[in-house]
Amino acid sequence: MFSLMFPMEGLANMDVEIRRAEPSDARGVKDIYDCRSAYEATLQLPHPSIALWEKRLASTPDNVYMYVALLDGEIVGTLGLEVCQNPRRRHVGSLGMGVKDKAQGSGVGTALLSTAIDLADNWLALRRLELTVYVDNKRAIELYKRFGFGIEGEAKDFAFRGGEYVGAFYMARLGDGQHRATEQ
């Protein structure tokens, strides 16, 4: 098993370990999306089943790279990077990420995003990474901006969450680490 360790400044003995997700990680990934902040900040539904995550992790397509983040041996974050299969968009990858409530602000998102960008830029030759993020998810928006993502547009009423519709920003990062997007 190959894994990367990211020492987090200011966190005593808290190294974030990043490794590829395995089917046996289904329980840990399910536990992430049992957390309110994870399902509210993504398109996941509350109370996911273990069977759902067992199936997803056991049948990950070749164009999808799934990672987990661990703190002290516990899975606390996950990230998926999907490479577009359309021949005209094979230079594009899309990202999705979730972090457990208790691990928010501990560097887990930074470590996961660093791993995905390294893979995209240095191993998959992806020119463009894109994602959607709810307009009220300030912490995630700032994280993405630190990594060179820019806001390219806004989708009004993008998803239904907590009894109301919420908008999302379309964000992207080009392979040179720069964005050519409208800043908002």
Q: For residue 95, give the nearest of 64, 71, 123 by alpha carbon.
A: 64
Q: Which domains does the chain have, with CATH numbers?
A: 3-132 (3.40.630.30)
Quick one: average pLDDT of 100-119? Answer: 95
Contact criterion met (CB below 8 Å) for 33 and 48: yes
pLDDT digits (tens, 9 = 90+) for 115-167: 999 999 999 999 999 999 999 999 999 999 999 999 999 999 999 999 999 99
φ, ψ at 173 (rounded to 5°): -135, 130
**Quick one: what percent of the chain has pLDDT higher than 90?**
80
pLDDT at 175: 79
| pLDDT tier at 48, thresholds 50, 70, 90 | confident
Question: Please, which residues bridge with residue 92 across strands?
Answer: 128
Contact criterion met (CB below 8 Å) for 90 and 84: yes
| pLDDT tier at 179, thresholds 50, 70, 90 | low
Q: Any alpha helices (H) in the chain, and if so which ranges?
A: 26-33, 36-40, 50-58, 108-122, 138-146
Q: Examine the pLDDT at 101 and tell me if it is beyond 80.
A: yes
Which long-range CB contacts under 8 A does 1-9 form with residues at least 24 apart? 4/111, 4/115, 6/107, 6/110, 6/111, 6/114, 8/106, 8/107, 8/110, 8/111
**pLDDT higher at 16 or 14:** 16
pLDDT at 8: 44
Q: How many Cβ atoms are within 10 Å of 145's Cβ, its own excluded?
A: 15
pLDDT at 9: 43
**pLDDT higher at 4 or 72:** 72
pLDDT at 177: 59
Contact criterion met (CB below 8 Å) for 155 and 170: yes
